[in-house]
Amino acid sequence: MGVAANRTKRAFRYRFYPSDVQAVELLRTFGCVRKVYNLALAARTEAWARKERVNYSQTSAMLTAWKKTEELAFLNDVSSVPLQQTLRHLQTAFTHFFARRARYPRFKSRKRSRKSAEYTASGFRFRDGRLTLAKMAEPLDIVWSRPLPDGAKPSTVTVSQDAAGRWFVSMLCEDPNVKPLPATDGAVGIDVGLDHLLTLSTGEKIANPRHERRDRTRLAKAQRKLSRKAPGDGANRRKARRKVARIQARIADRRRDMLHKLTTRLVRENQTLVIEDLTVRNMVKNRTLARAISDAGWGEFRSMLEYKATWYGRRVIAVDRFFPSSRLCSVCGTVQEKMPLSVRTWTCACGAAHDRDVNAAKNLLAAGLAVSVCGAGVRP
């Protein structure tokens, strides 16, 4: 395990400020990447309708042919590496689709889809802390907010621009600092909520910062201004849309920062972490709670917890969502017939007084430890 941990690859993301020439080149690359992806997806979809399958090698040959046509000759103006990479990404999307792990791939939109381009080692040069992409004469002006690991050599570089107009570069490197932490006896049950973001089986409650609520008035005002702009792609509408995106980006940044600090702390302190296997995608269909659930970031919390546990040799156990953690007495094991959300404290027939969330976290921990011992699923 130690050797594998030393080979863990980790993405290091930084902001950068391109020159006017670099910005034009990158935007052109983003457009070409989107064009190639959509052309390849259309070709594979047509083949799928004929009950034929087209693989990556065939789409790569199509790309070579497209570049020779007068209509698509502009594809030769950008680096070929990101174009090949987008075909590999499409192949991965189809692999997940055929394995029934994802939906059928969708076409990329100029306005809504993420603007990004991925470069492999042949498409960039990284020397003395200076990163230069293919087709560019000057290195990127990167803000090194944290250092890369000593001797790190990026295997891939992804350049992107978010809806707020900020530029980012993400470098995938081997990080020798990612290795299993010393084993500990700590184990904790974690119950997520809205009033309190997390309630731990230790009795600790972590408040929900409600990041979106802090900027709700400002966001609503910006959105109203955007809705009043004339439809289309005019300069005023782009400016208003960019202002809305900046507010949303600030909210997302605060949420992500808080979740990173929280998950890192939990993983460092505990060997076993037990959570509830919630289907957040279905829960946000509830119009009453959708906004609050999305703001809480339950899905992002679980994702961070799981990959950090893998990095540091910890274990995350997900208990079945139908397990009656809130209705089960953690002292005597009696299950209450009903437990409305309005009930925050209750007393069992055995005389034990419970805080709803703390009791649920204790039950999740007990159920998770039973899974770790028996290896069985947890059902009511």
Residue 191 annotated among the catalytic residues of the structure: yes
pLDDT score, position 222 = 96
pLDDT at 126: 95
Which residue is catalytic, options 118, 212, 295, 357? 357
pLDDT in tens, 132-175: 999 999 999 999 999 998 888 999 999 999 999 999 999 999 99
Known catalytic residue at 150: no
Spans of the chain, pLDDT less than 70 = 1-6, 372-380
Q: What is the 3-state secondary structure (H, E, C) of the chain?
A: CHHHHHCCEEEEEEEECCCHHHHHHHHHHHHHHHHHHHHHHHHHHHHHHCCCCCCHHHHHHHHHHHHCCCCCHHHHHCCHHHHHHHHHHHHHHHHHHHCCCCCCCCCCCCCCCCEEEEEEHHHEEEECCEEEECCCCCCCCECCCCCCCCCCCCCEEEEEECCCCCEEEEEEEECCCCCCCCCCCCEEEEEECCCEEEEECCCCEEECCCHHHHCHHHHHHHHHHHHHCCCCCCHHHHHHHHHHHHHHHHHHHHHHHHHHHHHHHHHHHCCEEEEEECCHHHHCCCCCCHHHHHHHCHHHHHHHHHHHHHHCCCEEEEEECCCCCCCECCCCCCECCCCCCCCCEEECCCCCEEEHHHHHHHHHHHHHHHHHHHCCCCCC
Alpha-carbon distance of 300 to 280, in angstroms, equals 10
pLDDT at 4: 41
pLDDT at site 243: 95
Candidates 175, 212, 276, 295; catalytic one = 276
From the candidates 118, 175, 191, 212, give the one annotated as an active-site residue: 191
Phi and psi at 62, nearest 5°, equal -65, -40
pLDDT of amino acid 28: 97
Instruction: Give first-to-last CA distance, the chain, whole Å.
Output: 35
